[in-house]
Amino acid sequence: MPLPFLAIAAIGTALYGAKKGYDAYEDNSTANDYNERAQDIYDDAIDRLKKSKKITNKSLEKLGKLKLSIYEDTLFDFVEIFSEIKNIDFEDNIDIGRNIDIDYSSMLKIKESVIEIKEILGDGLAALGGGAAAGFGAFGGVGLLATASTGTAIGGLSGVAATNATLAWLGGGSLASGGMGMAGGMAILGGVVAGPVLAIGGAIMAAKAEEAKYNAYSNFDKAEAAAEQMDVAKVVLDEITLRVEEFTNILKPLNNIFEDYIDRIADIVDNSNNYSKYSKKEREIVMITASIAQTIKNVCDAPIIDEDGVVTKKSKRVLKKADKFLSKLEEV
């Protein structure tokens, strides 16, 4: 017997509802899968970036403290002893083969910087905040440290100054609100509704599930874009860390040799503080010591990062000169 029309219609409605329900289930599954993958991509990228940021911050802080300890100790000792020497002739034809320009003005600047550093540190290096130390490691310059010590600029941050996108990674800026569009996109994660029960409900839920699926696709694209941007930032951080390590590796041996030469001129000054009475060898030691002081100050003052958060070309030039200078010193 043929089924009544209403029965056929009921079966058709039920099948339609079941199909829509299945479609919604598939769409929801797809949405959940893409959202989970998007979240994993995003979280992994953040984790990589945070690790690089932590390493960079630590290395900058260590370099900053190394620079400051050099100012506080060896450069201070040099200034005290060198200031006792009278009648220094900076035009003396002593060939020390170091190609470092030293004159009264440059020595005066070293003295002024040492005095300023001493005043800034006050209670000592331990009293300086990590942010200010990291900033000094990154940018150098006594004036910048003075600003940081007043509680403005770098001194108020947990890391390096966050004046632009790259430095924001160092300063701990929010990644989600950093223009990547992830905050809103990720808000729907976990918000996909359950599958439908009735035919009419199935159609409505299917439409929402389909929308959730396309939102999930969008989330995935945003997560990949955000991860790519964070990986680019990580590359920049790694470059900064490498340059910081290069600065540290040049300053430590320079400072060790500097300490030895300071002891030498201290012995010379104990005997006489009149440069005009020094032997050629003694005058050479004085000039080499002054040239080491100038080289160290050049390295300490050279900014590693510019205002755009990029490793500076100047830092590379300063390192190259300092490395060449160190090689000649080690030959003596």
Map residue 86 onto helix, strand or coil.
Answer: strand
pTM: 0.74
Closest to 290 (Cα-Cα) out of 118, 117, 109: 109
Burial annotation 42-59 (CB, 10 A radius, 16+ → b, else e): beebbebbeebbeebbeb
Full domain range(s) for residue 46: 5-331
Q: Which residues, other chains included, contact 117 with Cβ-Cβ below 8 Å and sequence gap of 6+?
A: 68, 71, 72, 142, 145
Q: If you ran DSSP here, which 8-state letter would residue 305 be given?
A: B
What integer pLDDT is reported at residue 191 of this predicted model? 24
How many folded domains does the chain comprise? 1
Q: What is the Cα–Cα distance from 236 to 230, expressed in whole angstroms? A: 10
What integer pLDDT is reported at residue 6 of this predicted model? 44
Secondary structure percentages of the chain, helix, strand, coil, to 5: 75, 0, 25
Give the residues of the chain that fall short of pLDDT 70. 1-23, 25, 93-100, 122-131, 141-207, 307-309, 332
User: Residue ranges of the alpha helices (H) in 85-198?
Assistant: 104-121, 130-139, 142-149, 165-171, 182-186
What's the sign of the alpha-carbon dihedral 76, 78, 83, 88?
negative
Burial of 23 (0-12, 13-18, 19+ CB in 10 A): buried
What integer pLDDT is reported at residue 9 of this predicted model? 45
Q: What is the Cα–Cα distance from 21 to 42, expressed in whole angstroms? A: 31
